[in-house]
Amino acid sequence: MLERDEEDLVDDETSGTIFRDVIMLALCGFVAVVVLLLPHINPKVEAREQRSVAPPGDVIVEILWPDTLDVDVDLWVQAPDDVPVGYSNKGGYYFNLLRDDLGHRADPTNINYEVSYTRGAPAGEYVVNLHLYRNNVGVYPVPVMVLASLRRSDRFTTTRLVETRVELNREGREVTAFRFTLGANGELVAGSVNSLQKDLRSAWSK
């Protein structure tokens, strides 16, 4: 009788060991599957952020003026050996005007902002102009921040090239915010930044 009890105890322990082994193997298999699937289900945050902030162009020119002012300021730009680009000609060989802001008109965000991008960064001189198209509020001067940045094709971050603040004092006036020259490797040529007036809008309309 004692021998049968011992045999039953051994059988119970063997069954218990097999059951635990099966459960552990199943758990290990589940964990392995989850680990293998995680990179595909949830891509790395850094990669998602880089894709989301990567600008679509190489030379980026932006203008911003106070959101409280219902004023229409136009950005005009010109790349080397290209035509002027602005509200009446939104694309050249290099530059494209991506946002034409009319002030508060037809703008649910009331954010006063215009931006142009290039495809590539050719060597030569770039010209950035402002044109005060409409000022219904009659507030002067209209302060405008003007920024030019460069993104290299193998990076997602941008490098600031030129930054300035321009005050517009008269409706209809076109002002050169700055001109600058890029070298063959996309570097800002030392001493090339200036604000010598060069008409773009009026030259395009002729």
Give me the percent of the chain exceeding a pLDDT of 70.
70
**What are the tens digits of pLDDT across the range 50-98?**
444 445 559 999 999 999 999 999 999 999 999 999 999 999 999 999 9
Report pLDDT for 50. 44
Q: Which residues contact 105 (CB under 8 A, 6 or more apart)?
A: 70, 72
Distance CA(135)–CA(6), nearest Å, equals: 100
Angle, vertex CA 186, rays to CA 180 and CA 189, nearest 5: 40
Report pLDDT for 18. 67
Instruction: Check whether 129 has a pLDDT greater than 70.
Output: yes
**What are the tens digits of pLDDT across the range 20-46?**
666 777 777 766 666 666 666 644 444
Mean pLDDT in residue range 147-173: 89
**What are the tens digits of pLDDT across the range 162-186?**
999 999 999 999 999 999 999 998 8
Report pLDDT for 101. 81
Instruction: Check whether 2 has a pLDDT greater than 50.
Output: no
Instruction: Check whether 189 has a pLDDT greater than 70.
Output: yes
User: Considering only the top CATH level, what class is 57-205?
Assistant: mainly beta
How high is the mean pLDDT of the chain? 82
Going through the chain in order, the beta strands assigned E by DSSP cover 59-64, 71-78, 95-99, 113-118, 124-135, 142-151, 158-168, 174-182
126 vs 10, which has greater pLDDT?
A: 126
Q: Could you tell me the residue ranges of all domains in the chain?
A: 2-42, 57-205
Report pLDDT for 48. 40
